[in-house]
Structure 1
Amino acid sequence: MLQSVIQTHELSYRFADQQVLDKVSLQVNKGSIYGFLGPNGAGKTTTIKVLLNLLRSDDQNVFLFEKEISANRSLVLAQIGSLVEQPAIYGHLSGRENLKARAILLKVKDDRISAILDLVALSAHADKKAKNYSLGMKQRLGIGLALLHDPELLILDEPTNGLDPNGIIEIRKLLMRLTSEEGKTVFVSSHLLGEIERMATHVGIINKGKLVFQGTIGELQQLSNEQVIIETNDLVEAANTLLAGGYPADITEEYVTVPFTDAEQMGAMNTLLVNSGSTVYSIRKTKKDLEQLFLSLTQPL
């Protein structure tokens, strides 16, 4: 049986007269990378602050490590590392000194500092002042600070925000390594949909405070309708030919599209078009990527 690390039961939250979260029920299991997606203002950061008990739910419906957080705050938070917004880094200190200062507060042994520097790939820059770090290095140092006390759960709010492609790849590889090699569970919010698709095992999509999807990456992709994309010399003529043959064809700016059934269907349509005089440049199967699915799930409610 999978162990629950994060669980909320119909979590709702209001600011004055604004409903920010509306019956959000999250399920995050041990060892997963859970990508939390949503447009700006959807409720992602509010959810994270409730999970970290920075904002409190009066309904006692937030459970971390199967313990209600309000009644077990110290015990639960001791098992969590977090990075919300910008990492709290002292620019005049080196990366090693930043970790040392945090280690003293947390009563963590010095040998953990070297292990963290190695884990976040900063050993070669350990004695360089943090103010001279690139943005990606600062983010990795921030994650290192969050990992210093060896938490079971890492909660990150937009950790790749503002990074260049190399920085994004570095963070992605780090998070994947934390789950595969270190056994951590990662809950990460992001607006970079392609990145979530590449690294997450599970996804939750929130829109206007409501959780509109939750499941594995595979389950999300299964929501897409596979289509046959046909490139031909005359889109209108090809579409009419297919319609006459019983295929529900549609036209985009560049292609004729037909809902995919199987490989035999594709072959039959290709034969029909060629026999009717159409020139078929290409015919292939495709489906919506995560971004298109995200957009379809976050249309105005």
Structure 2
Amino acid sequence: MNILEVSNVKKRLGKREIIKGISFNVKEGEIFGFLGPNGAGKTTTIRMLVGLIAPNEGSIKIVGHDLKKDREKALSCLGAVVENPELYGYLTGRENLMQIARIRKVPKKRVDEVISLIGLEGRINDKFKKYSLGMKQRLGLGAALLDNPKLLILDEPTNGLDPSGILDFRNIVKKAAKEDGMSVFVSSHILSEVQQLCDTVAFINNGEIQSIENLCDSNIETKTDTMIVITTENNDAIDIIKNLEFVNNISEDIGALTVNLNPNSTPQLVEALVQNNIGVVEVYKKHVGLEQRYMELVEGGIR
């Protein structure tokens, strides 16, 4: 089931066309990444999705409700964290959530659930103005999750967060998607964050979607596999690996071997090493495909 349907949406500012006929769908429980450089049209698209501005052409449907024709029902299925959360600084985190809960007729039990989900139990009774940026982001996410929206929209959600905060934020979003079936639309320009969080990614540049690809599909990883191999005898391993017909290239860097080989050839690689009495300490795939696709589609070529 498609929770979000965007069909041939265009947006003009004056005579300038900012969004040039984009179309995509977000399925139930899917984390959908919207990836592109600054100025590509990501924020304009999000402003249309949350109803802040209207498209000049095309349609946006949320859970089947047309945002233009049935605005109230469409937005009732939506939660969003756009830019920095704007909540009341003189209220505590809990008081802020309770205010929103009263307006949306959300029971107190759900407020307590959300506080636990976002991990703010220890600071929820502090004033919002005393929160760090990461804590404010968490509380903003909690506010968006209060009434269990079918669609959650996040605009550059990890901006300003430290590594620990990014990891916590990612886990909260994944849990909401996988356990509650919530659809998540994430706009970002950070490649690593999109790759680790999203199921699907749309590449946008100059107001146009260049490609939509499934990150679970190995095809995005290019036509070869790149493996990191650590052995007990790297020098001997190099001599063996470079003569294997399914290996395209091999290099060594700080005790690890980077092996570029034909798809699905890793078992044969490991078997060849073991047969030659080379101890295999670790083998894992180097995920570089999203970076390469980004450069191909958005930057015009691999650097």
Is this a same-fold pair by TM over 0.5? yes
Kept in 1: contact 2:101–2:107 (CA 8 A): yes
1:154 is aligned to 152
Report SS of the residue matched to 1:203: strand
Written as runs of structure 1 = structure 2, the 5 A alignment for 1:1-301 is 3-219=1-217, 221-222=219-220, 224-226=222-224, 260=262, 262=265, 288-300=288-300
Kept in 1: contact 2:35–2:187 (CA 8 A): yes
Report SS of the residue matched to 1:55: coil
Paired with 1:6 and 1:229, the residues of 2 have a C-alpha distance of 36
Paired with 1:13 and 1:292, the residues of 2 have a C-alpha distance of 29
Paired with 2:154 and 2:73, the residues of 1 have a C-alpha distance of 20
Q: Which amino acid aligns with 1:118?
A: S
The verdict on how the C-alpha distance between 1:257 and 1:182 changes in structure 2, with shifts beyond 3 A counting, is: closer
Kept in 1: contact 2:11–2:56 (CA 8 A): no
Kept in 1: contact 2:248–2:262 (CA 8 A): no
Q: Which amino acid aligns with 1:291?
A: E
Paired with 2:76 and 2:177, the residues of 1 have a C-alpha distance of 19
Q: Which amino acid aligns with 1:226?
A: T
Structure 2's unaligned 5+ residue stretches are: 229-233, 274-283
1:154-181 deviations in whole A, cap 9, x for unaligned?
1110110111101100100000010122
Paired with 1:249 and 1:212, the residues of 2 have a C-alpha distance of 29
- Bigger strand fraction: 2
2:279 is aligned to none
CA RMSD of aligned residues (A): 3.3
The verdict on how the C-alpha distance between 1:285 and 1:16 changes in structure 2, with shifts beyond 3 A counting, is: same
1:244-267 deviations in whole A, cap 9, x for unaligned?
xx9997999x99997736569989
Kept in 1: contact 2:11–2:57 (CA 8 A): no
TM-score by length of 2: 0.79
Structure 1's unaligned 5+ residue stretches are: 271-283
2:231 is aligned to none
Q: CA deviation at 1:285?
A: 8.1
Report SS of the residue matched to 2:40: coil
Paired with 2:124 and 2:195, the residues of 1 have a C-alpha distance of 32
TM-score by length of 1: 0.79
Structure with higher Rg: it is 1
The number of residues matched between the two structures is: 278
Q: Identity rate of aligned residues, in percent? A: 36
Kept in 1: contact 2:213–2:220 (CA 8 A): no
Paired with 2:285 and 2:167, the residues of 1 have a C-alpha distance of 29
Q: CA deviation at 1:35?
A: 1.1
Paired with 1:210 and 1:63, the residues of 2 have a C-alpha distance of 19
Q: CA deviation at 1:221?
A: 4.9
The verdict on how the C-alpha distance between 1:171 and 1:247 changes in structure 2, with shifts beyond 3 A counting, is: closer
Paired with 1:228 and 1:8, the residues of 2 have a C-alpha distance of 35
